[in-house]
Amino acid sequence: MIRPLGAAATRAVRAALAEDAAGQDVTTVWTVPAELCLTGRVEARAAGTIAGLGVVAEVYRQLDPDVVVRADVEDGERVEAGERVVTIDGPARSIVTGERVALNFLQRMSGIATAASAFVDEVRDLRVTILDTRKTAPGLRVLDKYAVVCGGASNHRRDLAAMVLAKENHLAAAGGVGPAIDAIRRNVAGLGGEQPRIEVEVTSLEQARQALERQVDWVLLDNMSPDEMRAAVHLRNSDPRFSATRLEASGNVTLATVRGIALTGVDAISVGALTHSPDALDLSLLVQMPQVTR
């Protein structure tokens, strides 16, 4: 089944096709007969987790409604090298013209899903959530974050309006952890209705204590050592007033370090590498012998 990905995919595909000058593909027009219809198959050249089938369908929907895209697996499904992922039938020119744009999206999104799945697997037996960040490709955030979920991880805030997250520069400008939280609370009080969650980034145990004492929703432990994180977890657990506050760890998290971080007892670990520098999953699209001519 192919899941439609909505307006975000429509906009991203439209921009990508325009960038690639898909309507002026002289190579394809001059080498591929106009009447030729083919079957193309996207296959995995490496093992991984698939994400982005809906974007492939959107590429060909915009290029040529006569192209039929059929998924051979589902988003979130793991595949092995050599396994078929998508079958594409229709006019050969359209299939070839859309190949690179379709693969660019599918390879990036599947790479993100594969990375997310690897991090989740490392801590699957522990009570911790793997989160993404806003370190996404400009214009592709919705697709990047969708791919994270396909890999079994979870989304952090989608944008700056989704929650309050006071980071290092906010705290410096406000005069510290306490003044920043107090200023946030004054403004939140005037909103009425549902209150936004408040998270504060800290880099020391003393800052963590200040944030916990003000009972924010989340405390982000940034680039702390495992010993410092364990101390912050102990501080949170030692006082009933702090029990509702959750602790998130962040900062250069890798597959080699994520389990050790999880074992400190934090509630979540955010991993910027999921979306800021994913390795594309190796996929290829090859056309088969002609089915029919028209």
222 is an active site residue: yes
State how far the Cα of 143 lies from the Cα of 168, in Å rounded to an integer.
Answer: 28
State how far the Cα of 98 lies from the Cα of 94, in Å rounded to an integer.
Answer: 6
201 is an active site residue: yes
pLDDT of residue 290: 61
pLDDT mean over 263-287? 97
Q: Are 90 and 96 in contact (CB under 8 A)?
A: no
pLDDT mean over 234-261? 96
What's 84's DSSP letter?
Answer: E
100 is an active site residue: yes
pLDDT of residue 92: 96
> Which residue among 11, 41, 135, 197 is the active-site one?
135
> Which residue among 222, 230, 279, 282 is the active-site one?
222
pLDDT 10s digits, 170-193:
999 999 999 999 999 999 887 877
Residue type, 134: R
pLDDT of residue 289: 65
| Chain position carrying tokens 């989304």 | 155
pLDDT mean over 94-108? 98
Q: Are 93 and 26 in contact (CB under 8 A)?
A: no
Q: Are 76 and 151 in contact (CB under 8 A)?
A: yes
Q: What percent of the chain has pLDDT over 90?
A: 93
Q: Give alpha helix (H) positions in 136-241.
A: 141-150, 168-174, 177-189, 205-213, 226-237
> Which residue among 58, 75, 144, 201 is the active-site one?
201
Q: What percent of the chain has pLDDT over 70?
A: 98
pLDDT mean over 55-65? 97
pLDDT mean over 211-236? 97
pLDDT 10s digits, 125-168:
999 999 999 999 999 999 999 999 999 999 999 999 999 999 99
Predicted TM-score (pTM) of the model is 0.94
Domains in the chain, please, with CATH? 6-120+279-287 (3.90.1170.20), 154-270 (3.20.20.70)
Q: Give alpha helix (H) positions in the chain.
A: 6-19, 26-31, 53-63, 92-122, 141-150, 168-174, 177-189, 205-213, 226-237, 258-262, 273-276
What is the residue-averaged pLDDT of the chain? 95
pLDDT 10s digits, 75-86:
999 999 999 999
pLDDT of residue 193: 73
